[in-house]
Structure 1
Amino acid sequence: MRVLHTSDWHVGRTFHGRDLLHEQEAVLGGLADLVSDERVDVVAVSGDLYDRAVPSGDAVQLCERVLSRIRAAGARIVITPGNHDSAPRIGVFGAFAEHGGLHLRTTIADLHRPVVLPDEHGPVALYGIPFLEPEPAKHALGVPRARGHEGVLTEAMRRVRADLAGRPGTRSVVLAHAFVTGGASSDSERTIAVGGVETVGADVFGGVDYVALGHLHGPQRLADGLRYSGSPLAYSFSEARQRKSVWLVDLDHGGLAGVERRDLPTPRELATVSGKLAELLVDPVHAPLEDRFLSVELTDRVRPKDALRELQKRFPHAVHVEWRPEGGRPAGMTYAERLGGRTDAEIACCFVDDCRGEPPTGSEERLLARAFAAVAVERRA
């Protein structure tokens, strides 16, 4: 049996305010071609199908189109929710969907009840462990003394292994959404450190043939049978150098036979650049950046006005700007120390100077003076 391991689709996510639905459909729709070309039997989605608990109508429709294409290409689909998803919303109509080849494992009660699919070597059991919030999960699992994510996942895996022990000769795949010790994080993951320590030891997942992990957005191997597929697109500039991909997992009569990586296309690359605004707008060396999502660090001594809007005239996909003046900010007294003994008007002027690197102009000073005078009148009224 061949399993395609993917996760963290985050359908409906924006990138610094930019809608990504077009890019997401371009990549995720291509999974159907991969299913057909690589003769994939099962697609396992290990959490965070959506980016939020209540996804938009457009996000739901995109998922429906992608999942329908994958199913039409011949693969069964197993999905578990992550920390971004709403398990009840994903799991709705699960009993009906299962007859069409879409298996939704969204409840704690079902985590030890696998999706069992046959191949020429016998049965393969796919267990879906939904993301477990430690506090409610420990009571639902009957282990009130369990601590953090490791405690509740330890009990979840105990139940999985107990069920598997009653299925001799059955090979096994576990879908789980967790931060396993040794994994490398990026800036786009939401912390799961609620109710205790967020990390989980790799040994918790022992005793099964393959663990398809979700949550961390970079593809990585913690062991042959313990891997993160990562997200299909980059969701932060810290992921600019990652090669987004999926894992193709082969199971033979003895269990895990091999894992191969397949890189995914990049609809729009990410880049960062640093320099003065005027130079960035004309320097021909930056021409390759004009079609990329761009994060810009401006080094002008004075903070440029409307910098992002100006940059977007040349770089339409510039989405993030930081001002870091060349040579750094002036040293000396702290901001609080510089305010001591000053009038409101002087403090306002100091604030303008601190924010943009130059004091207010004469017209700006007069505007501030009128504003403070109006406030004084209101106080006396």
Structure 2
Amino acid sequence: MRLLHTSDWHLGRSFHRENLIDAQAAFVDHLVETVRSERIDVVAVAGDLYDRALPPVEAVRLFGEALRRIRDTGARAVLISGNHDSMVRLSYATDLIDASGIHLRSSLEAVGEPVVIGDEHGPVAFYGIPYLEPAIAGPHWRLQGRGHPAVLGHAMDLVRADLAGRPPGTRSVVLSHAFVSGGEPSDSERDISVGGASHVPLSVFEGVDYTALGHLHGRQTMAETVRYSGSPLAYSFSEEHQVKGCWILDIGPSGVSAAEFAPAPVPRPVARISGRIDDLLTDERWEPYTGHWLQVTLTDPLRPAFPMDRLRERFPHTLVLDFAPDDRPPADDRSWARRIADRSEPELVLDFVDWARGAPATDEERGLVDAAFQDIRLGEVAR
């Protein structure tokens, strides 16, 4: 059996207000072509199908199209909900959808009940464990323990109990959306620590042949049989060096016999660059970045005028602008109360102007600030 492991599609997500639906549609094209060319039998999608519980119409349309096209290749698909998805909405009509070969697993009641798909070596049991919110899953199962380790540990106990009752030689694949200890996060995953400890030990997945993980956006091999596929696109600038794609695995009579990573197309690279604005606008070494989505950090001693407009003349896809002067004075470690003890209100406003712009206020601006506070005092006296 050939398995394709993907996750964290986040359909409907934007990137610093840039609509990504076309890039996500291009990934779906790539995915379907990979399923066809690699003769994939089962596509496993480990959660965060959408970017939010109520996705936009165009994301729902793309999701439906992706499922139809996967089905048309002759492959089956097993999918779970992630922490960005609505567990209830994705579990709607799953018993009817199952008949098409598309298996959505998004309920607590179905944990431990596998989708069984056979090949020439016998059955493979696919166990879908959706993202488990401890505050919901714990009371549902009447667990004494708290946090993600408790609820995911119980879910895996249900999986192992079911697997133990199946015919000898039954192979097993678990889909899970979780943060495994030792995994490397990026800036684009939503924190799942609310409700208890967020990390789960790798050992929780013992006893199955392969675990297809979702949640972390960079591909990672936690163990030979426990992997993150990562997201198909970069969703933060912290992912600038990550190679996106999916895992393709061969499952033989004794479990996983081979694994390779298939890179996905990059619609537009992301990068972080820094320097003084004149250097960034003139030096040839920055030319390769003119087509990137960029986070730019300016290191000029004084904040330049109209920096975003100027940068976008050379780098039209600049999305984020930061300012970090390279000759900034040492940080003042005094308490806030001590720093303002001898400063008047107008002086505090002028201090802010100096900090925000990187240059002191002009005489005209000082006059405006003084006049504004004078008006405030006169108004207080009149009352």
TM over 0.5: yes
**SS in structure 2 at match of 1:110:** coil
Pairwise CA distance, 1:375: 2.9
Give the 5 Å matches for 1:127-146. 127-143=127-143, 145-146=144-145
Q: Which residue of 1 aligns with 2:185?
A: 185
Worse overlay, 252-261 or 174-183:
252-261
Residue-by-residue CA offset, 1:95-149 (whole Å, 9 max, x unaligned):
2221222111000100111111111122111110011111221121232x12211
Contact preservation (8 Å) 1:250, 1:259: yes
| Alpha-carbon distance in 2 for matches of 1:162, 1:244 | 35
Give the 5 Å matches for 1:265-280. 265-280=265-280
Q: Which residue of 1 aligns with 2:306?
A: 306
| Alpha-carbon distance in 1 for matches of 2:108, 2:351 | 57
| Alpha-carbon distance in 1 for matches of 2:266, 2:69 | 20
Residue-by-residue CA offset, 1:354-380 (whole Å, 9 max, x unaligned):
222211122322332343234334433
Q: Which residue of 1 aligns with 2:47?
A: 47
Contact preservation (8 Å) 1:35, 1:74: no
Residue-by-residue CA offset, 1:8-33 (whole Å, 9 max, x unaligned):
11111222222211212112321000
Give the direction of change, closer, same or farther, for the CA distance of 1:342–1:207 in structure 2 (3 Å limit).
same
Does 2:112 align with 1:98?
Answer: no
| Alpha-carbon distance in 1 for matches of 2:339, 2:354 | 12
Does 2:247 align with 1:229?
Answer: no
| Alpha-carbon distance in 2 for matches of 1:283, 1:54 | 45
Worse overlay, 289-298 or 272-281:
272-281
Q: Which residue of 1 aligns with 2:239?
A: 239
Contact preservation (8 Å) 1:46, 1:213: yes
Does 2:358 align with 1:357?
Answer: yes
Contact preservation (8 Å) 1:10, 1:48: yes
Worse overlay, 195-204 or 14-23:
14-23
Contact preservation (8 Å) 1:48, 1:82: yes
Pairwise CA distance, 1:278: 2.5
Give the 5 Å matches for 1:1-381. 1-143=1-143, 145-168=144-167, 169-329=169-329, 334=334, 336-379=337-380, 380-381=382-383
| Alpha-carbon distance in 1 for matches of 2:372, 2:28 | 53
Contact preservation (8 Å) 1:28, 1:232: no
| Alpha-carbon distance in 1 for matches of 2:312, 2:304 | 14
Pairwise CA distance, 1:3: 1.1
| Alpha-carbon distance in 1 for matches of 2:91, 2:72 | 21
| Alpha-carbon distance in 2 for matches of 1:142, 1:345 | 60
Instruction: Report the AA paired with residue 365 of structure 1.
Output: R
Worse overlay, 323-332 or 255-264:
323-332
| Alpha-carbon distance in 2 for matches of 1:197, 1:363 | 55
| Alpha-carbon distance in 1 for matches of 2:88, 2:65 | 21
**SS in structure 2 at match of 1:260:** strand
| Alpha-carbon distance in 2 for matches of 1:13, 1:375 | 45
**SS in structure 1 at match of 2:216:** coil
**SS in structure 2 at match of 1:281:** helix
**SS in structure 2 at match of 1:304:** coil
Runs of 5+ consecutive residues of structure 2 not aligned to the other structure: none
Contact preservation (8 Å) 1:29, 1:69: no
Q: TM-score, structure 2 length as denominator?
A: 0.94
Worse overlay, 210-219 or 244-253:
244-253
| Alpha-carbon distance in 2 for matches of 1:332, 1:215 | 39
| Alpha-carbon distance in 2 for matches of 1:346, 1:146 | 55
Instruction: Report the AA paired with residue 254 of structure 2.
Output: G
Pairwise CA distance, 1:93: 2.3
Task: State the number of aligned residues.
Answer: 380
Residue-by-residue CA offset, 1:245-266 (whole Å, 9 max, x unaligned):
2111211222222212111111
Q: TM-score, structure 1 length as denominator?
A: 0.95
Pairwise CA distance, 1:67: 2.3
Contact preservation (8 Å) 1:218, 1:231: yes
| Alpha-carbon distance in 1 for matches of 2:30, 2:60 | 18
Runs of 5+ consecutive residues of structure 1 not aligned to the other structure: none
